[in-house]
Amino acid sequence: MASFSSWSSSGLTVGPRAYFEPEVELLTASEVHALQLKLLQETVERAYHTNAFFGPRYRAAGIDPGDIRTLDDIRRLPIVRKDDILADIAAQPPYGTRLQADTSEIVNVVESSGTSRRGREVQALSAADFDGIVRAEAFGFYWAGARRGTVVALMAPLTMAAAGVWWTHTLQRLESNTLRLADADTEKRLEYMKRYGVEVLITNANYLRRMEHIAEQLGYEPARDFPKLRSVFGGGGSWTLEWARERSERWHSNLYEQYGSSQRAIAWTCERGMVNSGGYGVIHGLPHLSLLEVLNPATGEPVNEGEEGEVIVTVFNQEAQPQIRYGSNDRAIYMPASACPCGRAFDGLRAGSIGRYDDMLKIKNVNIWPETFDRLVFAHPQVAEYRVDVTMAADGREDVVIALEYKRGVTAEQRGQVASGLGQAVRRDVGFSVSVHEWMGESLVAGGADLMKVKRVTDKRGGTS
Ligand SMILES: [Zn+2]
């Protein structure tokens, strides 16, 4: 196992592959499954006997730890959801009855980035739990080339959310030279990246899109101004292969993606990145640290390769708060380990397939994901940003208005072509009519407190937003 002092030199490089924990990454599929079963059994046994949240639930469901004889037996355990966690926290704040350690053992608390008034989920970690999560986070950065002295530009803000604190600690443990740019505006970030010779850029698809636009306006040429840049974390949410290939070329970098949450579900693309031999790459789970299920929400059964389902996460052997079968409400396409040529026996998710079930909108009787608008709008490279407003008139008629902010230098004629082309594409692909206008407000590209986050679709029907 990698220890603190040896992280920057503990890996093993074989050809194009860089193993962070070779003792795990070189296991065969059957060895991985045997290890997971052992860890699952230990995790359930411990929760059954010592946890005031899980123990009574398992007993009420008539489950005994001895019932877990195969990995498939995990599905005998009840799924825990956000509402269960929030009710538990409300009844016994601030940690709920899931806390099984003394509070003096807690070294890190993170909160979900909940937007609702229902409150935020809390995750408490002991020193060993924290070490485990930092190990999980290290895989992806290591696979993308972060080592001792590597100059890494980090955009995640340090808040009560998980990403900033976990990533900052992880990069420090990897002894990378981390530029902490969350508080700077985009112009300043680009300046820092140039001055210190950025090698790895950690952002997401949303922000990469805006950053590139501003970089172009300011006259940056990535190949000239960031000559050492080679890895960009530019995934998260939806993106298309064509978009990713263009970004890869524009930033002369390989693109990478993470799936992560404060609930400790962590998965990463390997060194091959998020575009793999021209197709979508695999976001690998880390089978010795957690178990990711992808289940058909209607049946609760695992989906097949290439099918979408809900991600359910179990984190092994947590000291402070177990996390067993947490229903994330995240949707993703399941990909087995064999879908990636890297050879790791780590099943995972298809890159570019992550979304939220609760993001689905029903507009004019059509179910639509916000990502569909992204795909259709950003198919037009003349568009810098956009917003969608969904409204309902007094007579119940629904209206969809797409407002486009164009890049500089786009002519009036081109704007007209984009607007009519987009209207036709929505009608053809989605099945309803939209009005397409030009965005007339302040630029959508520059601002925002957390530049990594953006909400493009606003539902103004029925007082909800
Ligand atoms: Zn791989």
Task: Give the Cα separation of 434 and 399 in Å (integer).
Answer: 7
How remote is the CA of residue 133 from the centroid of ligand 1, in Å? Answer: 20
Scan for tokens 């909800």, then name that residue: 464
How remote is the CA of residue 332 from the centroid of ligand 1, in Å? Answer: 17
How remote is the CA of residue 266 from the centroid of ligand 1, in Å? Answer: 15
How remote is the CA of residue 359 from the centroid of ligand 1, in Å? Answer: 29
pLDDT at site 155: 92
How remote is the CA of residue 419 from the centroid of ligand 1, in Å? Answer: 40
How remote is the CA of residue 274 from the centroid of ligand 1, in Å? Answer: 9
How remote is the CA of residue 21 from the centroid of ligand 1, in Å? Answer: 14
How remote is the CA of residue 432 from the centroid of ligand 1, in Å? Answer: 39
**Residue 370 phi, psi dihedral angles, 5° rounding:** -55, -30
How remote is the CA of residue 90 from the centroid of ligand 1, in Å? Answer: 41
How remote is the CA of residue 272 from the centroid of ligand 1, in Å? Answer: 6
Specify the amino acid at residue 451: L
How remote is the CA of residue 270 from the centroid of ligand 1, in Å? Answer: 5
How remote is the CA of residue 283 from the centroid of ligand 1, in Å? Answer: 8
How remote is the CA of residue 65 from the centroid of ligand 1, in Å? Answer: 33
pLDDT at site 12: 81
How remote is the CA of residue 281 from the centroid of ligand 1, in Å? Answer: 8
How remote is the CA of residue 269 from the centroid of ligand 1, in Å? Answer: 6
What end-to-end distance do the CA atoms of the chain give, in Å? 47
How remote is the CA of residue 317 from the centroid of ligand 1, in Å? Answer: 25
How remote is the CA of residue 68 from the centroid of ligand 1, in Å? Answer: 29
How remote is the CA of residue 282 from the centroid of ligand 1, in Å? Answer: 6
How remote is the CA of residue 17 from the centroid of ligand 1, in Å? Answer: 9
How remote is the CA of residue 23 from the centroid of ligand 1, in Å? Answer: 16
pLDDT at site 113: 74
How remote is the CA of residue 340 from the centroid of ligand 1, in Å? Answer: 5
How remote is the CA of residue 18 from the centroid of ligand 1, in Å? Answer: 11
How remote is the CA of residue 265 from the centroid of ligand 1, in Å? Answer: 18
pLDDT at site 408: 87
Q: Walk along the chain (465 residues) and give the pLDDT tens digit of each residue.
A: 444 445 655 678 877 788 999 999 999 999 999 999 999 999 999 999 999 999 999 999 999 999 999 999 999 999 999 999 999 999 999 999 999 999 999 999 999 876 556 789 999 999 999 999 999 999 999 999 999 999 999 999 999 999 999 999 999 999 999 999 999 999 999 999 999 999 999 999 888 988 998 999 999 999 999 999 999 999 987 788 999 999 999 999 999 999 999 999 999 999 999 999 889 999 999 999 999 999 999 999 999 999 999 999 999 999 999 999 999 999 999 999 999 999 999 999 999 999 999 888 899 889 998 889 988 998 998 998 999 999 998 888 899 999 999 998 999 999 999 999 999 999 999 999 999 999 998 888 876 556 667 888 999 987 544
pLDDT at site 3: 47
How remote is the CA of residue 342 from the centroid of ligand 1, in Å? Answer: 4
